[in-house]
Structure 1
Amino acid sequence: MRVLMAGARFSGLDGVSLEAEKVAEGLAALGHEVVWLAGELEPWHEGIELPEMGLFTEEARSLYDLAFGEEGEDPALEAAVEAAGARLHAGIEAALEGVSFDLLLVQNAWAIPMQLPLAVALFRLWRGRGVPAIAHNHDYYWERPRFSKNRIPNVLERYFPPKGPVHLSINHAAIRELKRRRGMESLYLPNVMPFERPLPPPDAFARGFRRAFGLEGKRILLQPTRLVPRKQVEKSVELAARLKARGHEVALVVSHPGADEGDAYPKRIQALARERGVPFYWIGERVGPRRDEKRGVYALMDVYPNADLVTFPSRYEGFGNALLESVYAKKPLWVWPYPVYEEDIRPLGFRFFEPGAPIEQVEEALATPEALAPDLEQNYRLAREHFGYRRLISVLEEALREARAGTPL
C-alpha cells in the first residue's frame, strides 16, 4: 500500500517531524511505501515539497493573526479560510498529478491550527480522492491557551480534527478530551524510540563533539529542546548555577533552535546565564536529525552520548521526546513533572531526578555515573516494553485495519 504522509513540515528536530520519521519506519516494516508531502522536507525524503503548505507562508500567517486573540464568530473570515484552503487544495492536486496513493496520513495539520488553509486543503484532498485517512494528532488546539479566543469556531469544529479519519492521540488526557469535546475515539500512540535496536557506541565524529565546542573537562548538562518559554530553560540555568557554586565545572548545552516564537526568550536566557556565570552553548545550527560531517552538523544521537546529565524542565509536553531519547542513550534525566509525565510515564516505574531531589544526588550522578547503571538499565527495559517499535507497529496495524475497513473508532 502507498501512504501519503502529509503535513506542514517534516524537517528539523521538532517532535512532529521526529515522530513522523518513526511512523514511516513502522509503515516500511509493515511493507508499505511512504510518499512525503509538506511545505518543508529533508533531502532524503522521497516526495513533494510544496512551499505553500509551510507554516510561515504570508497567507497562513495573516489568517492566523486574524483568527486568534479575539472572541466572536466572523463568517467573512471563516469564508476566507475556506477559500484559501480551496486554492491550496488545487495547488496540491496539481503537484500530485500522476501520483496515486491508497491512504492519507496527516501529521498534526488537523490538530493544531497553525496553518488553517492546509487543514481545509487536506480535508478536500481526502474527500476528493476517496481514500481512507489516519490523523496523527500531537497537539489539539484546546491544549494551548493562545487558541482559546478565536473568531473561527466553525472552522475549528469542522477541521480540528474532522470526523471520519482514524485518530491517533499521543497521551491519555488527549484521548479523554477528544471524546468529551467531539465524541470521537482515538488510539493511543505515545512517542517511541527503537529500543529494540540499541544505540551503537559513539564513533570518532561523535567523540569529537566536546572538542568541537570547547567543552573538554566540563560536565555537560544537555537540554535537548527548543529555546522557547514552555521548555523553562531558566530552570536548567539555575540547576547549573547551583552545581557551579558547589565547585563543579559545568556547561549548559541547548541543542535545538529557538524557532517559531521570536528571539525575546533566547535573549533572556542568554542574559540569565551570563548573570549566573553559567557557560551556555546554544548549538541548534550545528545539530540536526541526521549528521553532516562536511558541514560539522551532529545528529541528535551524536550529542546525547556526550552528556553527563539531561535536563528536561518543560512545563507542558504532548508526550516528551527528550525523555525517551535520554533513556535510549542511557543518560540520567532531571525532569519537571509535567502533566503527561505524571499520568502516562512516572507510574510505570521510571527512575529520574525531579526538582525535589537533593542536589547531592545529582552531584553523585555526575561524579560516579557508574553507580546509576542499574537505574538506567531498568529505565531502558521499561521503555522497550512500553515505548518501543513493537508498540508502534502494533498501533499502526490496528489503525490501518480500522481505516481500510472504513469504520474508524
Structure 2
Amino acid sequence: MNIVILGYRVAGLDGVSLETVHWKNILERMGHKVTLVAGELDREGVLIPDLHFKSAKIAGIHDRVVYGNESYEKIERIVFDIAGTIEGKLRQFFRNGYKPDLLITPNVFSIPMHFPLAIGLARTIEEFSIPTIARHHDFWWERDRYNKSQMFPFFEKWFPPKLEKMTHTVINSLAQKSLFEKTAIEAPVISDTFDFENESQGILDSYAKHFRNDFGLTENDIVFLQATRIVPRKRIELSIELISKLNIQSAVLVVSGTEGDEQKGYFKKLQSLAKEKNIRCKFIGERVNSQRKIVGGKRIYNLWDCYLNCDFVTYPTEMEGFGNQFVETMYFEKPIILTPYPVYDADIKPLGFEVIEMGEKITDEVAGKVNELIANESKRKEMVERNFEIAKTNFSYRVVENKINGILRSY
C-alpha cells in the first residue's frame, strides 16, 4: 500500500513524533511505502509549512477560540477562510501523485491546536474518499484550557470528526472509554511501542561511549536519567529531591529534555532547587536530538545514547497519554523510579512490571529501595531482564503490526 502519515510535525523528541516514526518503521517492515507529510520535519518527507500550528496566524486563532470571548460566528468565518486555503493545497498535493491508499493522522483530530487544518483535512478526506486512521494520543476534554472555552461546537464537530472511511485508535483504555462516552466512537487501543526484536539499539557503540566524558561524568558515577521535556507536569523537582535524599556523592541527575512552552520559568526554578539541595544535576537538552550529528565541533546525541549511559530512570510524571519513557526504559533494561499516574495504574501496572513507586514526597523507604538496587547488581539485572520480557510481549512492533493488520482487513 501507498501510505501517507500527515501531522503537525515529525521532529524532535515529543511523544507524537516518536510514535509516528515507530509506526513508519512498522508499516515499512510490513512492506508498505510510507511518506511523512508535516509542517515541520527533521527527516525525509514532504514539508508543508501550513500544517504546523506554530505560525503566528494559527496560534492567534487558537488563542482567540480557546481564551477569547468573541462569538462563534465571527471566529468561524476566519477559521473556514484559512481552512479553504489549506484544503486547496491538500487537494493539489493528493492530485499530484500523492493520493494514498491509506492516510494516518497522528493527533490532528484530537487536540485542537490547528482548527483550519482539521477542517480542511476532514473535507479533503471526504472528497477523495481516503481510508484514514485517526490516531489519538490525548483529547481536548482532558485539558482544562479547552474545557473553559465557549467554542464547543467547533470541538465537538471536528475533534474528532465522524467520517465514513475514518477509523479511530487511542493509546490507552481510559481514552477508549472517554471517547466512546463522549462521541459513541469505538476505537481499539494501540499503545506506545518500541522495536524489542531489534537488539542493536541497545548496544553502546563508539559514538555513545563519548557521552559520559562529554558531559563531565565518570564511569563510577551513578546516573539517574529523566528523559522528559522540562515542563511542570513532569515534576523534575521530585527527581532532584530523590537525588538529595539518597545522599550519595556519585549520584547525578541528567535531564535530556528542553524547556517547553508551558509556564516559562520552570527551568530556572529547577536550577535553583538543584543548587539549594547541593546535588549534581546536568541539563543536556541542547545536545540531545532525534538524530546524531556534530555541530560546532560538539557531538549531538540521540535519546537512545542517554539511556545507554544511565543507570536508573526517574519518571515522576503527573499525567501521560501512555508513557514513551516507560516503554523505552524497559527496552534499555534500566530500573525505573516513578510516581503512579492514571494510565500507568490502568494499563501498565497490571502487566506485572517490577518498579519503584514513589509519592509526591520522597520517603526514607523509597530512598532505601533505590540504595538497595544500587548495591545489589544481580537483583537489578534480574528485575530489568524480567521487565524487558513483559514489555516485549505487550509493546513490541509485532504487537502493533498485528493490530494494524486487523484494521487494514476491515477496509
Correspondence for 2:372 among 343, 359, 364: 364
**Separation of aligned partners in 2, 1:271 and 1:78:** 45
Q: What are the equivalent positions in structure 2 for 1:167-186 lying under 5 Å apart?
A: 167-186=168-187
SS at match of 1:323: helix
Q: Is the 8 A contact 2:356 2:366 kept in 1?
A: no
Q: Does 1:59 align with 2:57?
A: yes
Q: Is the 8 A contact 1:170 1:190 kept in 2?
A: yes
SS at match of 1:297: strand
What is the Cα deviation at residue 367 of structure 1? Answer: 3.1
Q: What are the equivalent positions in structure 2 for 1:305-384 lying under 5 Å apart?
A: 305-355=308-358, 357-384=365-392
Q: Does 1:205 align with 2:207?
A: yes
Q: Is the 8 A contact 1:187 1:399 kept in 2?
A: no
SS at match of 1:271: helix
Deviates more, 1:305-314 or 1:215-224: 215-224
Q: TM-score, normalised on structure 2?
A: 0.93
Deviates more, 1:344-353 or 1:78-87: 78-87
What percent identity do the matched residue pairs reach? 35
Correspondence for 1:298 among 287, 298, 301: 301
Unaligned stretches of 5+ in structure 2? 360-364
Corresponding residue for 1:407? none
**Separation of aligned partners in 2, 1:91 and 1:267:** 42
Q: What are the equivalent positions in structure 2 for 1:7-406 lying under 5 Å apart?
A: 7-43=7-43, 45=44, 47-69=45-67, 74-96=72-94, 97-164=96-163, 165-198=166-199, 199-216=201-218, 217-243=220-246, 246-261=247-262, 263-293=264-294, 295-355=298-358, 357-402=365-410, 404=411
What is the Cα deviation at residue 208 of structure 1? Answer: 1.3
Deviates more, 1:223-232 or 1:352-361: 352-361
What is the Cα deviation at residue 370 of structure 1? Answer: 3.3
Deviates more, 1:123-132 or 1:108-117: 123-132
**Separation of aligned partners in 2, 1:49 and 1:304:** 30
Q: Is the 8 A contact 2:232 2:263 kept in 1?
A: no
Q: Is the 8 A contact 1:8 1:118 kept in 2?
A: no
Deviates more, 1:360-369 or 1:117-126: 360-369
Q: Is the 8 A contact 1:169 1:188 kept in 2?
A: yes
What is the Cα deviation at residue 156 of structure 1? Answer: 0.8
**Separation of aligned partners in 2, 1:88 and 1:250:** 51
What is the Cα deviation at residue 209 of structure 1? Answer: 0.5
Query: Structure 1 counterpart of 2:77, which letter?
Result: A
**Separation of aligned partners in 1, 2:334 and 2:287:** 21
Which digits, 9 at most, give the CA deviation of each residue in 1:33-84, with x for residues without a partner? 11111101123x2x31111211211111101111113678622112322222
What is the Cα deviation at residue 220 of structure 1? Answer: 1.1
Query: Structure 2 counterpart of 1:387, which letter?
Result: F
Q: Is the 8 A contact 1:48 1:95 kept in 2?
A: no
**Separation of aligned partners in 1, 2:396 and 2:264:** 36
Q: How many residues align?
A: 399
Query: Structure 2 counterpart of 1:379, which letter?
Result: N
Which digits, 9 at most, give the CA deviation of each residue in 1:189-215, with x for residues without a partner? 000111122244201211111100001
What is the Cα deviation at residue 327 of structure 1? Answer: 0.7
SS at match of 1:68: helix
**Separation of aligned partners in 1, 2:366 and 2:138:** 34
Q: Is the 8 A contact 2:202 2:308 kept in 1?
A: no
What is the Cα deviation at residue 285 of structure 1? Answer: 1.7
What is the Cα deviation at residue 27 of structure 1? Answer: 1.1
Corresponding residue for 2:362? none
Query: Structure 1 counterpart of 2:382, which letter?
Result: P
Deviates more, 1:374-383 or 1:67-76: 67-76
RMSD of aligned alpha carbons: 1.7
Deviates more, 1:340-349 or 1:251-260: 251-260
Query: Structure 1 counterpart of 2:289, which letter?
Result: G
What is the Cα deviation at residue 147 of structure 1? Answer: 1.2
Deviates more, 1:342-351 or 1:278-287: 278-287
What is the Cα deviation at residue 186 of structure 1? Answer: 0.2
**Separation of aligned partners in 2, 1:200 and 1:238:** 29
Query: Structure 2 counterpart of 1:25, which letter?
Result: N
What is the Cα deviation at residue 87 of structure 1? Answer: 1.4
Query: Structure 2 counterpart of 1:203, which letter?
Result: D
Query: Structure 1 counterpart of 2:347, which letter?
Result: D
Q: TM-score, normalised on structure 1?
A: 0.94
Query: Structure 2 counterpart of 1:206, which letter?
Result: A
Q: Which runs of 4+ in 1 moved over 6 A?
A: none
Which digits, 9 at most, give the CA deviation of each residue in 1:362-385, with x for residues without a partner? 012223333211111110111011
What is the Cα deviation at residue 260 of structure 1? Answer: 2.8
Deviates more, 1:31-40 or 1:176-185: 31-40
Q: Is the 8 A contact 2:337 2:357 kept in 1?
A: yes
**Separation of aligned partners in 2, 1:302 and 1:293:** 14
Query: Structure 1 counterpart of 2:214, which letter?
Result: A
Deviates more, 1:92-101 or 1:133-142: 92-101
Deviates more, 1:178-187 or 1:280-289: 280-289
